[in-house]
Amino acid sequence: SVDISTFMRQTGHTTLDYGFVNTAATKSSITFIDGDQGILRYRGYPIEQLAKNSTYLEVAWLLIYGELPTADELAAFDERIRRHTLLHEDLKRFFSALPHTAHPMSVLSAATAALSTYYENESDPHNPEHVELNTVRMLAKLPVIAAYAHKKSVGQAFLYPDNSLGFVDNFLKLNFGVLSEVYDVNPVMSRALERLLILHEDHEQNASTSTVRLVGSTGANQFSSISAGINALYGPLHGGANEAVLDMLGRIRDSGESVERFVERVKNKEDGVKLMGFGHRVYKNYDPRAKLVKESADEVLEALGVSDPLLDLAKELEDIALNDDYFKERRLYPNVDFYTGVIYKAMGFPTRMFTVLFAIGRLPGWLAHWREMQGDPQTKIGRPQQLYTGATERQYPGA
Ligand code: ACO
């Protein structure tokens, strides 16, 4: 007896599914999405409740281990992560080999891949102790690498992590603190960032998570798999959209083009221009994460004492698009990337750091999926089929 997929292949029934629109590559018990209703739940818990009440590390634990942690479990997890924040001094020097003009996402993926070289003897995917250790290492060190990518891009000295601080506060200090100056974390900014990170923590089989799974299915370790996921996230159709949205808003403002005219160009698909931050493969209704981000955008900007005309421009664009037949017929709504950039900008992050923030948010999901895959006895190396359309056999000249 053979399994159904082998039977289908042997009998010439290969499914051609560009973009995997209708093909499940795995079973998973981590995240549930109902794209028609606009529902997102991590391990059964609604995203709205987690964003309001939880913390980044608590949600990370939930995604990775399947249950909410007890207070003791969470405290021990937090403590363990704080103890692993330091990067090897040699790895710090790795950053100087890269040009200061490098995009922080390229720096992030390169340094994450480089992290693997320090732990090669402790990176066996089948060794539970290694897996635990590297889960903690990734959670502890990715924010530090991200902050160094930021510091490098603005030419400032790297700071050492301050392990008296919690996860998000430490990250803010690493980004915005300046050597030999006191840095006081703004609690409004800290909570707002924590909420945004929670909203990004997992989203089932998106392109970057599927990449992490595919690379992981070959037996590659967490560092290599996640470095690949970071590269997948970088693209403007995926995580890179948050940067692309701000660029788009800035271009509309600077060009003096009316919002209506811009939307016309999108609808006519002139030069392939898209309304960035709109549309989603799964959501055919308002993205529940975008709803939460939009609700808090005004509040956060006000609390930070920032007013930004780009937020008004974004709202105007949304109003026009949601009442337009082109967008209605195609069921295109704002996705999570539409409003996040305005908030990150108000916090002081340069545009090129936006997708890096997404990567830190998504890390627990990547780790949870990598681990779920390794623990699933059904896992096989990922290896799609193709329908060959090239030449039939021909002879090399003179052969
Ligand atoms: N602006 C204008 N038209 C759009 C947009 C958009 N943002 N998104 C989709 N469409 C149109 C397509 O041109 C297509 O039109 P057609 O039927 O006339 O050919 C139709 O809507 C269906 O779109 P597809 O591209 O087939 O949808 P798909 O599921 O393959 O793509 C995607 C989803 C990539 C998110 C797409 O909507 C897009 O490019 N959006 C802009 C980029 C973006 O915001 N990405 C972030 C996604 S969320 C995330 O990764 C966190």
**The complex's ipTM?**
0.97
- Please name the residue whose Cα sits nearest to atom 47 of ligand 1: 238
With a 6 Å cutoff on the Cβ, whether 289 touches ligand 1 is no
pLDDT at position 391 over 80: yes
If you average pLDDT over residues 91-107, what whole number do you get? 95
**Ligand 1 pocket mutation, candidates 287, 335, 336, criterion most atoms within 8 A of CB:** 335
- Residue 180's pLDDT is 85
- Nearest atom within ligand 1 for CA of residue 280: 35
| Residue 103 annotated among the catalytic residues of the structure | no
- Nearest alpha carbon to residue 136 among 364, 356, 360, 369: 364
| Residue 280 annotated among the catalytic residues of the structure | yes
Q: Could you give the 3-state DSSP secondary structure of residue 222?
A: helix
Q: Answer whether 275's CB lies under 8 Å from 332's CB.
A: yes
Cα–Cα distance measured from residue 29 to residue 64, given in angstroms and rounded to the nearest whole number: 11
Question: Confidence class of residue 1 from pLDDT cuts 50, 70 and 90?
Answer: low
pTM to 2 decimals?
0.95
Those residues whose C-beta lies under 8 Å from the C-beta of residue 353, and which sit 6 or more positions away, are: 104, 146, 149, 150, 153, 175, 344
- Residue 158 Cα to chain centre, angstroms: 24
Cα–Cα distance measured from residue 118 to residue 23, given in angstroms and rounded to the nearest whole number: 37
Lowest mean pLDDT, pick from 209-223, 298-312, 356-370? 298-312
- Nearest alpha carbon to residue 356 among 107, 70, 21: 107
- Residue 387's pLDDT is 93
- Residue 3's pLDDT is 74
**Ligand 1 pocket mutation, candidates 47, 210, 280, 285, criterion most atoms within 8 A of CB:** 280
With a 6 Å cutoff on the Cβ, whether 200 touches ligand 1 is no
HSE of 369, CA atoms in CB hemisphere, 13 A = 30
CB atoms within 10 A of CB 183: 16
Cα–Cα distance measured from residue 136 to residue 315, given in angstroms and rounded to the nearest whole number: 39
- Residue 115's pLDDT is 96
With a 6 Å cutoff on the Cβ, whether 330 touches ligand 1 is yes
